[in-house]
Chains A and B, each alone.
Chain A
Amino acid sequence: MFRKAAENHHVVLWSIFLVAFLLRCFDISGQPPTDDEAGMASSATNYLLSGMFGQIMWYHPPLRNILVFMFGDLFGSYTAWGLKGASVLSGSLTVPIIGYIAYSLFGNKRIAYLAAFFLCIDPLHINASRQVIQEAPTTFFISLGILTAVYGMRKDSIIPLYLSGVFFGLASATKWHGLFPWAVSAAAYLAYPYLTNSNESRGVSLTRILTFLTAYVAIPIAVYTAVYIPWLNRGYSFSEFIDLQLWLVKYQYLHHGAAYSENMLPKRAYQWFIWPVPWVDFVLLQGKSYVGIAMGNLLVWGLTLPSLYFCIKTWLREKSFELGYVITLFFAVYLPMVLTTRGIWVLLATPTILFAFILSAFTLSRLMERGSISRKMLAVYMTLVVALSIIMYPMSIFRTLEYSWTKPLAAMYSPH
């Protein structure tokens, strides 16, 4: 019976979801809100009340405020669940979705399971999913946008394509990271007849252009704008809204983080997949100190660049749309982070690791198919990966100071 269940990818992916959910909500009430999170609760209330963005990361699009407000309302107040519910849920749900993306692209369960499992136990994603920050919901909406885009392209069906536009609009309305996969997916849809051996005539038809404009231009823009309605209701016109967006581009480009993150933490994206890169949060509440350290599992993150090389080589040989799509998504999300001159901290890696993990899972699966690595080798590797994630888990949940093996790291990143 167990073997039968394991053959059903829905059962496996939703089982991985359960693990992901448990890891992301375990003792969530015991993780105190950071100063920023307290500010975000206030931002959520006041955004819906008067259109005020609030003090914390006000320069990002305001969907976070709406999500936090909705969950606060759902749970009656900003309890741990009311405050962080949106992140916990969206972060957990991204895990099976990445599996579904991999499965729908490659039709291979092993790739789907590996990608989902890598994300499930990733300490950085766990940390991001337990905080009221934009990262978990943005990545969630991006993953939904891609899944529906793949389905819509394959079936040439407008409803999933419209949904894809909605999700990319929501992703971008949470954080602008959504713009890159949105652009890639829009271009992929437009060029799909060229990129695949489809039966459709090779020219881009009027219907396709119209669907592209609706699904990937009008719908995301409408969704993005709708999220700003509380702010627009301060009397702003649509042209003033566009001016604000242009100002925010400049603001984001020139943005400087707090002195601690600018001076003490690594802030270059090229480092992410080469050596361990941390993001550190501190809370002092009722006389007790808490330290959260977000850091990827290096055994998984370290696979990214070799896997990318392997995947590019495979793509050059096979020219498959699916692999090309994931590689392009990876570059589209990662390169802007690498090339920008402003500080880019590692929590911003969450959308990038979606594609990094799919590429690594693809590589491992292909190498197994070729016999280059055995089942036993994979089992040993996965055991080490799980062990490292277990060791790192206290850091992800703000308990760095409670364990002897994580305490030295807190001292290393202490601002004092």
Chain B
Amino acid sequence: MNNPTMKQNKITIFMNVLVLTALMFFLIWVNNSAQAKRSIPSTGRPNIVRLKTQQDIYNTYKLNDLWGVKVLHLNRFLNMADYAPREEVRSSPYPIKTGDIRPLYEKGLDSHNWLYIASISGMVRSVTTVLPGEIFMERSEAFKSDSFFSVRGKTIKGYSYDVPLRIVTLDDLPAINEPVVVNVDAGYFSSKTDPLMVARMVKEKCPDIRMIILIDSIDEADITSIMRGDLSRFVSAWSDI
């Protein structure tokens, strides 16, 4: 190998420092420009929307042009059932036709997979689901045997496809110090949870809520009028806090 001269050495050091600096700025730019792509409702008093079914939330997200949002989801279901249209992976003669696959996913939309489809299509980038205590206990047993998830105390962590998913009870809800969209389903109040306490806890842990979506889940037979009444009390409590 050639013994580099002092001058060559200096040029090499200069080049390395230049490239390292350029790459550092590149990574900072990637980080900042990616975060700037998020489309979240603007600051101020959060817009409160009341919908009939879970499935309707998807359309509300879409109408509000949401992109890359963090979601806090209070329900007794995860609404993250996997869904994949078969047409996407079916051999066909050349040339293979492709296009925006999201409408095909939307065709299979239902109340149990809408959040998965919203995640896979980019509207949602991270989900924290709050389950009622007793349902959390039931579900955590199943998650304990799933190697893809980790269960520590009253927190289940993992991913749904490429989207980070955290499942907690209200008591263990971590602070979310960034803009968040909150969904509250009437079914969450199945365990006689105090709506006032729920409103207070959510407000305390999520200081920057941009949108609240309330769902009556009229397509769920076991949601009672009492639960829907609790949902209304949650709204009143929210306004009063």
Q: Report how far A158 CA is from B4 CA in the complex, Å.
A: 12
A45 is contacted by which of B68, B98, B121 (Cβ under 8 Å)? B98
Q: Report how far A340 CA is from B166 CA in the complex, Å.
A: 29
**Chain B residues, Cβ within 8 Å of A52:** 101-102, 120-122
Q: Whose C-beta in chain A lies nearest to the C-beta of B92? A: A38
**Chain A residues, Cβ within 8 Å of B60:** none
Q: Would A154 and B20 count as touching, CB distance under 8 A?
A: no
Q: Would B30 and A225 count as touching, CB distance under 8 A?
A: yes
B43 in the interface, Cβ–Cβ < 8 Å?
no
Q: Would A199 and B3 count as touching, CB distance under 8 A?
A: yes
B17 in the interface, Cβ–Cβ < 8 Å?
yes
From A11-19, A234-242, A327-335, give the one contacting chain B.
Answer: A234-242
A211 is contacted by which of B16, B69, B126 (Cβ under 8 Å)? B16
**Chain B residues, Cβ within 8 Å of A162:** 19
A44 in the interface, Cβ–Cβ < 8 Å?
yes
Interface string of A73-89 (1 = CB under 8 A from B): 00001111011000000
Within 8 A of B (CB), among A264-318: 283-286
Q: Would A42 and B89 count as touching, CB distance under 8 A?
A: yes
From A28-36, A138-146, A347-355, A375-383, give the one contacting chain B.
Answer: A28-36
B90 is contacted by which of A38, A53, A235, A247 (Cβ under 8 Å)? A38
Q: Would B162 and A33 count as touching, CB distance under 8 A?
A: no
**Chain B residues, Cβ within 8 Å of A324:** none
B1 is contacted by which of A50, A200, A213 (Cβ under 8 Å)? A200
A82 is contacted by which of B91, B95, B122 (Cβ under 8 Å)? B95
A50 is contacted by which of B92, B121, B159 (Cβ under 8 Å)? B121
Q: Would B1 and A154 count as touching, CB distance under 8 A?
A: yes
**Chain A residues, Cβ within 8 Å of B27:** 221-222, 225, 238
Q: Would A42 and B98 count as touching, CB distance under 8 A?
A: yes
A155 is contacted by which of B2, B17, B68, B125 (Cβ under 8 Å)? B2
Q: Would A235 and B162 count as touching, CB distance under 8 A?
A: no
Interface string of B91-124 (1 = CB under 8 A from A): 1111111111110000000000000000011100
Q: Would B30 and A229 count as touching, CB distance under 8 A?
A: yes
Given contacts A42-B88, A233-B34, contact A247 B67 (CB under 8 A): no
Q: How far is the CB of B149 from the nearest CB of chain A, in Å?
A: 10
From A121-129, A190-198, A387-395, give the one contacting chain B.
Answer: A190-198
Q: Whose C-beta in chain A lies nearest to the C-beta of B101? A: A46
**Chain A residues, Cβ within 8 Å of B2:** 155-156, 199
Q: Would B125 and A38 count as touching, CB distance under 8 A?
A: no
Q: Would B4 and A58 count as touching, CB distance under 8 A?
A: no
Q: Would B3 and A200 count as touching, CB distance under 8 A?
A: yes
B34 is contacted by which of A77, A198, A237 (Cβ under 8 Å)? A237
Q: Report how far A234 CA is from B17 CA in the complex, Å.
A: 31
**Chain A residues, Cβ within 8 Å of B121:** 50, 52
B67 is contacted by which of A192, A221, A235 (Cβ under 8 Å)? A235
Q: Whose C-beta in chain A lies nearest to the C-beta of B102? A: A50
A70 in the interface, Cβ–Cβ < 8 Å?
no
Q: Whose C-beta in chain A lies nearest to the C-beta of B33? A: A233
**Chain B residues, Cβ within 8 Å of A158:** 12, 15-16
A35 is contacted by which of B17, B30, B90, B148 (Cβ under 8 Å)? B90
A218 is contacted by which of B20, B99, B148 (Cβ under 8 Å)? B20
B147 in the interface, Cβ–Cβ < 8 Å?
yes
Within 8 A of A (CB), among B169-227: none
Q: Whose C-beta in chain B lies nearest to the C-beta of A45? A: B98
Interface residues of A, CB < 8 Å — how many?
75
Q: Would A211 and B12 count as touching, CB distance under 8 A?
A: yes
A356 in the interface, Cβ–Cβ < 8 Å?
no
Interface string of B22-46 (1 = CB under 8 A from A): 0110110011011101100000000
Q: Would B94 and A78 count as touching, CB distance under 8 A?
A: yes
B13 in the interface, Cβ–Cβ < 8 Å?
yes
Given contacts A44-B98, A198-B1, A211-B12, contact A234 B91 (CB under 8 A): no
Q: Would A78 and B122 count as touching, CB distance under 8 A?
A: no
B142 in the interface, Cβ–Cβ < 8 Å?
no
**Chain B residues, Cβ within 8 Å of A236:** 34-35, 68, 125
Q: Report how far A32 CA is from B95 CA in the complex, Å.
A: 10
A238 is contacted by which of B30, B96, B162 (Cβ under 8 Å)? B30
Q: Would A46 and B23 count as touching, CB distance under 8 A?
A: no
Q: Would A235 and B125 count as touching, CB distance under 8 A?
A: yes
A56 in the interface, Cβ–Cβ < 8 Å?
yes
**Chain A residues, Cβ within 8 Å of B133:** none
Within 8 A of B (CB), among A142-187: 153-156, 158, 162
**Chain B residues, Cβ within 8 Å of A200:** 1, 3-4
**Chain A residues, Cβ within 8 Å of B37:** 233-235
Interface string of B137-163 (1 = CB under 8 A from A): 000000000011000000000110110
- Write the residues of chain B forming the contact surface with A, with a CB cutoff of 8 angstroms: 1-4, 9, 12-13, 15-17, 19-20, 23-24, 26-27, 30-31, 33-35, 37-38, 67-69, 84, 88-102, 120-122, 125-126, 147-148, 158-159, 161-162, 164
| 5 extra interface residue pairs, beta carbon distance < 8 Å, beyond A218-B23, A235-B38 | A34-B91, A35-B91, A45-B101, A54-B88, A219-B19
User: Can you sample 27 A-B contacts with CB below 8 Å?
Assistant: A38-B91, A42-B88, A42-B96, A42-B98, A45-B101, A49-B100, A50-B102, A50-B122, A53-B162, A78-B96, A78-B98, A79-B94, A198-B1, A199-B2, A214-B15, A214-B20, A218-B19, A226-B30, A229-B34, A233-B37, A236-B125, A237-B34, A238-B30, A240-B125, A240-B126, A284-B91, A286-B93
Which 10 residue pairs spanning A and B have beta carbons closest together?
A235-B68, A39-B89, A235-B38, A77-B95, A232-B34, A198-B1, A78-B96, A45-B98, A238-B31, A210-B16
- Write the residues of chain A forming the contact surface with B, with a CB cutoff of 8 angstroms: 29, 32-39, 41-42, 44-46, 49-56, 58, 72, 77-80, 82-83, 153-156, 158, 162, 192-193, 196, 198-200, 205-207, 210-211, 213-214, 218-219, 221-222, 225-226, 229, 231-238, 240, 243-244, 247, 250-251, 254, 283-286
